[in-house]
Amino acid sequence: MTKDLDWENLGFSYIKTDYRFISRYKDGEWDEGELTTDNQLHISEGSTALHYGQQCFEGMKAYRTEDGSINLFRPYENASRMKKSCERLLMAVYPEDKFVEAVKKVVRANEEWVPPYGTGSSLYLRPYMIGVGDNIGIKSADEYIFSIFAMPVGSYFKGGMKPSNFVVSGYDRAAPKGTGAAKVGGNYAASLLPGKEAKSRSFSDAVYLDPETHTKIEEVGAANFFGITKDDVFVTPKSPSILPSITKYSLLWLAENRLNLDTLEGDVYISDIDQFKEAGACGTAAVIAPIGGLQVEDDFHVFYSETEVGPVTKRLYNELVGIQFGDIAAPEGWIEKV
Ligand SMILES: Cc1ncc(COP(=O)(O)O)c(C=O)c1O
């Protein structure tokens, strides 16, 4: 049984589903955790998450397959990245195996909200952790809340993948040795203004350069960058201030092992973008958002086309989405059944 929703026309907005998982950390340990129907939190006004940004989160999806079962895509990678985010912000770590178990509990409890196969929609999962308790000094909290909620979301591109244009921002989203590699709210707060400015100029989002030299591409909005060179090398930036995208590392593997391309993770100089015949942004939400054109100061650079998706981008997209929805055989360990 599934809910009666217009599955094919879902966007990406908050929908209150039936159950969320919540666990509390106090006196040095996590409680068992429980599923609850209550979507409100009641926390101390002194919570470190409110004042000092001591919080982090994850984003992942559950996919309905043709046989009606439900796939999680590389959930241990999300668990491991959240552990790193917690360590960076001196927060308690939620055990990785329990993280995946809790994700499964939330999906099972909200099974009626998992979109039907063939609609392109999926169940988005948002694990997060916040520092709570009565504090006010700038120090790590003694108490934490870890929670996971879920909501059905639509396919990012209705009626097929389409390229869009982006603009190189003059702002930084993260500092050179700051928290760029951690999935923490402060990075996203810092990206709201550059994102708004990009959108007000009719671009999809801002492209961020490396915060130290401003010569190399780092991220595209809340997604990683990749390009396909004229001699068919899959290239993606490497930097300690980029969020390590699970989608990006999956595409890197697929480019090498399924598309037989050479791959390179390294510096991507903005002065060198005409080496790419195709480019895209990748992440859980969009899978791949093809980059049609990129505004770099006064120059507008078109990669493959402003209206058509390049052939390599299309193959990468089909391979990855096929694996996520169970239509194409997955590499060992990529799919976890709920
Ligand atoms: C800043 C940033 N970069 C990259 C990504 C893509 O990461 P992933 O592929 O793990 O979703 C995200 C989304 O989670 C993000 O917020």
- Give residue-wise pLDDT tens across range 186-220: 999 999 999 999 999 999 999 999 999 999 999 99
Distance between start and end Cα atoms, the chain? 16
- The answer to whether 153 and 12 are in contact (CB under 8 A) is yes
Q: State the DSSP code for 14.
A: -
Closest ligand 1 atom to residue 58 Cα is 14
Residue 223 pLDDT level (bands cut at 50, 70, 90): very high
Please give the number of the atom of ligand 1 that sits closest to the Cα of 250.
9
The answer, yes or no, to whether residue 3 has pLDDT greater than 90, is: no
Q: Which of 245, 155, 169 shows the shortest CA–CA distance to 205?
A: 169
Average pLDDT, the chain: 96
Predicted confidence at residue 158, as pLDDT, reads: 66
- Residues 64-122 have pLDDT tens digits of 999 999 999 999 999 999 999 999 999 999 999 999 999 999 999 999 999 999 999 99
Q: Where do the domains of the chain lie, and which CATH numbers do they carry?
A: 20-153 (3.30.470.10), 164-325 (3.20.10.10)
Quote the ligand 1 centre to 325 CA distance (angstroms): 20
Q: How confident is the model at residue 215, as a pLDDT? A: 97
Ligand 1: which residue has its CA nearest to atom 6?
Answer: 283
Q: 27 CA to middle of ligand 1, Å?
A: 33
Whether the pLDDT of residue 159 is over 80: the answer is no
Q: Is the CB of 284 under 6 A from ligand 1?
A: yes
In sequence order, what are the beta bridge partners of 291? 164
Is the CB of 220 within 6 Å of ligand 1?
A: no
Take atom 1 of ligand 1 and give the residue whose Cα is closest. 222
Q: What percent of the chain has pLDDT over 90?
A: 94
Q: Ligand 1: which of 56, 247, 288, 334 to mutate, most ligand atoms within 8 Å of CB?
A: 247
Residue-level pLDDT at 253: 98
* Cα gap 327→330, rounded to integer Å: 9
Q: Which atom of ligand 1 is nearest to the CA of 78?
A: 10
Q: Can you give the pLDDT at residue 2?
A: 83
Work out the average pLDDT over 237-242.
Answer: 96
Give the per-residue pLDDT at 296: 97
User: What are φ and ψ of residue 237, in 5° steps?
Assistant: -65, 150
Report how far ligand 1's centroid is from the alpha carbon of 257 (Å): 22
- Whether 110 and 17 have beta carbons less than 8 Å apart is answered as yes
Q: Which residues of 27-66 are buried (b: 16+ CB within 10 A; e: fewer)?
A: eeebeebebeeeeeeeeeeebbbbebbbbbbbbbbbbbee
Tell whether ligand 1 has an atom less than 6 A from the beta carbon of residue 292: no
Closest Cα to atom 16 of ligand 1 = 222
Cα–Cα distance, 237 to 264 (Å, whole number)? 8
Question: Residue 278: its pLDDT value, please?
Answer: 97
Whether the predicted pLDDT of 157 surpasses 90: no
The pLDDT > 70 percentage for the chain reads 99
pLDDT for residue 156: 74
pLDDT at 4: 87
Q: Is 123 in the pocket of ligand 1 (CB under 6 A)?
A: no
Strands (E), the chain: 20-26, 29-30, 34-36, 55-57, 60-64, 70-73, 122-132, 143-153, 164-168, 206-209, 217-220, 224-229, 233-237, 262-266, 276-283, 287-296, 299-302, 335-337
Q: How far is the CA of 306 from the centre of ligand 1 (A)?
A: 24
From the alpha carbon of 284, which atom of ligand 1 is closest? 11
CA of 36 to the centre of ligand 1 (A): 28
Task: State which H helix or E strand residue 107 sits in.
Answer: helix 96-109
**pLDDT at res. 96:** 98
- Per-residue confidence band for 155, with pLDDT thresholds at 50, 70 and 90: confident
Structure tokens at 158: 């209705």
**Where residue 173 falls among pLDDT bands split at 50, 70, 90?**
very high
> Which residue type does 29 have?
E
pLDDT digits (tens, 9 = 90+) for 296-317: 999 999 999 999 999 999 999 9
Q: Is the CB of 223 under 6 A from ligand 1?
A: yes
**Is residue 185 within 6 Å of ligand 1 at its C-beta?**
no
| CA pair distance 218, 235, nearest whole angstrom | 12
Q: pTM above 0.85?
A: yes
Sequence-distant (6+) residues with CB within 8 A of 174 are: 180, 187, 190, 208, 211, 241
Q: Which residues are catalytic?
A: 183
pLDDT in tens, 11-61: 899 999 999 999 999 999 999 999 999 999 999 999 999 999 999 999 999
Lowest-pLDDT choice from 153-157, 162-166, 214-218: 153-157
User: Which numbered atom of ligand 1 lies nearest the CA of 60?
Assistant: 11
On the question of pLDDT at 180 being above 80, the answer is: yes
Cα(151)–Cα(122) distance, integer angstroms: 9
Sign of the C-alpha dihedral computed for residues 42, 47, 53 and 59 taken in this order:
negative
200 CA distance to ligand 1 middle (Å): 23
Residue with token string 């241990």: 76
Cα–Cα distance for residue pair 113/150, rounded to 1 Å: 9
